[in-house]
Amino acid sequence: MVDLTGLHKHFILEHLKEGDVAVDFTMGNGNDTLFLSKTVGETGKVYAFDIQPEALDSTRAHLEANGAPENYTLICASHHLAGEYVKEKIAAGMFNLGYLPRSGRKALTTKRETTLPAVAAAISMLKPGGALIVAIYPGHEEGKLEGEELSEYLATLSKYEICPSQFKILNSPDSPYFFLIEKSPKCKD
């Protein structure tokens, strides 16, 4: 069976190297933050965002327990505000939409009104040749609507600058899926 998380990492590793800047737009419990931190190494930089203080605490503990380099900044703010904190062009970014795993609060999820602006801003933050992963969870209504809205938006972007792809299990409509959004290496900064 397809391992979607493994595919996320496979695609990001094609765009991210030691010394780069990366963003985890939806920190959660810090799994993507840890992956990005170890990938960019001591000379790189990772910014991670979440609106829930417990996500920052959980992520910090996860990073420390797993030997992450001290190259990260954890920010308690919505992902749509990332541009206020990140001033560098980024090589990669990851979104894992939905709710905070193991929080017991499934009603507190990412929302379309901040997700679409966050993804649009993240695309503008990409350096030429950079990439984003956006994981969608259509098993709940907001997740389904987020995915539909993002799909419509991504279809409007210039194919000469941005290449959005969708990876989905076709015979399981409620299964998570993701978008890979790549910026052409030929784009001007």
CATH number where 111 lies: 3.40.50.150
Residue 45 contacts residue 74 (beta carbons within 8 Å): no
Task: Tell me the average pLDDT across 137-157.
Answer: 84
| CB neighbour list of residue 99: distance below 8 Å, 6 or more residues apart | 105, 106, 107, 108, 109, 110
Q: How far apart are the C-alpha atoms of 9 and 174, rounded to whole Å?
A: 22
Residue 188 included in any domain: no
23/108 Cα distance (integer angstroms)? 22
Helices (H), 23-140: 31-40, 53-65, 112-125
Poorest-pLDDT segment among 52-56, 75-79, 110-114: 110-114
How many structural domains does the chain have?
1
Q: Is residue 55 part of a domain?
A: yes
Residue 69 within any structural domain of the chain: yes
114 has a pLDDT exceeding 80: no
Q: Would you give the distance in Å from CA 97 to the centre of its chain? A: 8
pTM of the shown model: 0.91
* Integer Cα distance of 82 and 86 in angstroms: 6
Residue 122 in any domain: the answer is: yes
